[in-house]
Amino acid sequence: MKILKFGGTSVGSPERMKRLLDIIRPQEKQIVVLSAVAGTTNSLVEIANAYQNSDKQKAKELIKALHAKYEVFIKELFSSDEGLASGRELIDYHFALISDFANELFTPIEEKIILAQGELLSTTLYHFYLKEIGVKSVLLPALDFMKIDEDNEPMVEYIGEHLQPLLDKHADNTLFITQGYICRNSFGEIDNLRRGGSDYTASLIGAAIKAEEVQIWTDIDGMHNNDPRIVKGTTPIAQLSFDEAAELAYFGAKILHPQSVFPAQKYKIPVRLLNTMEPAAAGTLITNESEKGKIKSIAAKDGITAIKIQSSRMLLAYGFLRRVFEIFERYKTPIDLITTSEVAVSLTIDETRYLDDIIRELKDFGTVEVDDNQTIICVVGDFSVGVHGFASRVLDALKHIPLRMVSYGGSNHNISLLVKTDDKTEALRSLHNRLF
């Protein structure tokens, strides 16, 4: 069994939806995971916000506009009166459901129900379309098997135990379709895997039923070795290890939901990143293998704030870092990079909601310096012990750029550097020229 996930743009228009059959071979065993039609989840978020703000008029207008878009969508998708009627009944049902929340108390529970409608719509429309053209498919309700626990962690075993019987029940079928992103939480309520979570769904399903392969279909031919928007002549990376892919997914490369790497890694399911617009291109294969002696890719993440805490109390003290980190923990602010010396520690964050409180508390330790508008540049490849020369090439490429932090040795597969965002473009280009 293979898992094929198609993102919002791959089902973004009736034409694109129809062209999925260039890629999906209905006679092969597979589960197709679909995102909502591009733009839909954003619109649903706006509708939920309007309800949240008790702006029923605005909610009504937004719903009307989205409903009208789907009306156009189904007219192009279906060619028979029967098909069109099935599509219309479906969209009318979902938009009536969304409209009904105007009469209810609006809580995060209702919000999540609204956010779930996009994937429910896209998958059912596709299932109806296949039916209209005579292609057999089974629609699997993700809400019957996708589950997260009380810590919002997906329950892989549970997913397998509940999905496998559904597959067995339709053992003579080959093409299964299900919703990305949506799930149930520990209370049994409708919930989701956070924005962009359809990749995560695909990987979780792959892990849960020990699939042969997970394919993530987007509109770029795999992960590139640098940011194609900034650097000319980037190329797709043929192969990455799960660790390298997780690193790159977190930094810059928006092509893969960072968490989606972990279930596939744990259960050793290969993940392929492929391009809907160019199905024959090789894309990127992610496996347990890491290629020795190679630099794979350069990525960057903007919007970083660096904090330096300088304290003579740190000298020869123990427990100092713990007390520093506890402050960040209390404010639920993740730390990305850390570098330390004997009397100072620098670290970076990308979530600044509680920055003022954090700084106020850090000042108890000593002097605190804060720099915003920073960018983490991450070079991924084989930086394991025993490999030499790569770090010096990286630093040499950046010799004309002021470096705020350098983090090396934290893992075997990357070196991260902090530069001013103003210097990012030059840093990426210079590294590209020097390393590839």
Give whichever of 43 and 407 is closer to ligand ASP, judged by the CB atom.
43
Considering CB distances under 5 to 8 angstroms, the limit depending on partner class, which of ligand ASP, Mg ion, none binds residue 197? ligand ASP
DSSP 3-state of 64: helix
Give whichever of 253 and 309 is closer to Mg ion, judged by the CB atom.
253
Residue number of the CB atom closest to Mg ion: 196
Closest CA to 128 of 119, 117, 139: 139
CB of 62 to ligand ASP, least distance (A): 16
Q: Contact 76/14 with Cβ under 8 angstroms?
A: yes
Give whichever of 180 and 381 is closer to ligand ASP, judged by the CB atom.
180
Question: How many angstroms separate the CA atoms of 185 and 191, rounded?
Answer: 6
CB of 117 to ligand ASP, least distance (A): 10
Question: How many angstroms separate the CA atoms of 23 and 6, rounded?
Answer: 10
CB of 182 to ligand ASP, least distance (A): 9
Question: How many angstroms separate the CA atoms of 10 and 18, rounded?
Answer: 10
Task: Enumerate residues 6+ apart whose C-beta is below 8 A from 426.
Answer: 400, 401
Question: How many angstroms separate the CA atoms of 26 and 121, rounded?
Answer: 21
Question: Which 187-246 positions form the footprint of Mg ion (CB under 5 A)?
Answer: 196
270 binds Mg ion (CB under 5 A): no
Give whichever of 169 and 195 is closer to ligand ASP, judged by the CB atom.
195
Considering CB distances under 5 to 8 angstroms, the limit depending on partner class, which of Mg ion, ligand ASP, none binds residue 390? none
Give whichever of 137 and 201 is closer to Mg ion, judged by the CB atom.
201
Considering CB distances under 5 to 8 angstroms, the limit depending on partner class, which of Mg ion, ligand ASP, none binds residue 118? ligand ASP
Token digits of residue 33: 């995971």
Quick one: 84 exposed, middle or buried, by C-beta within 10 A (0-12, 13-18, 19+)?
middle
Question: How many angstroms separate the CA atoms of 92 and 72, rounded?
Answer: 13
Of the candidates 7, 12, 206, 283, which one interacts with Mg ion according to CB under 5 A? 7
Burial 114-151 (b: 16+ CB within 10 A, else e): bbbbbbbbbbbbbbbbbebeeeebbbbebbebbbbeee
CB of 338 to ligand ASP, least distance (A): 30
The H-or-E segment that residue 350 falls in is none
Count the residues of the shown chain that bind Mg ion, applying the rule CB under 5 A: 2
CB of 232 to ligand ASP, least distance (A): 29
Give whichever of 43 and 375 is closer to ligand ASP, judged by the CB atom.
43
Strand ordering across the sheet containing 338-340: 338-340, 344-349, 295-310, 367-381, 414-420, 405-408
β-strand pairing of 295-310 with 367-381: antiparallel
CB of 333 to Mg ion, least distance (A): 25
Considering CB distances under 5 to 8 angstroms, the limit depending on partner class, which of Mg ion, ligand ASP, none binds residue 180? ligand ASP
CB of 193 to ligand ASP, least distance (A): 8
**Which residues contact ligand ASP by CB under 6 A?**
7-8, 35-36, 41, 118, 180-181, 195-198
Give whichever of 41 and 311 is closer to ligand ASP, judged by the CB atom.
41
CB of 33 to ligand ASP, least distance (A): 9
**Sign of the CA dihedral with 223 first, then 227, 229, and 231 last:** negative
Give whichever of 154 and 381 is closer to ligand ASP, judged by the CB atom.
154
Binding site for Mg ion (CB under 5 A): 7, 196
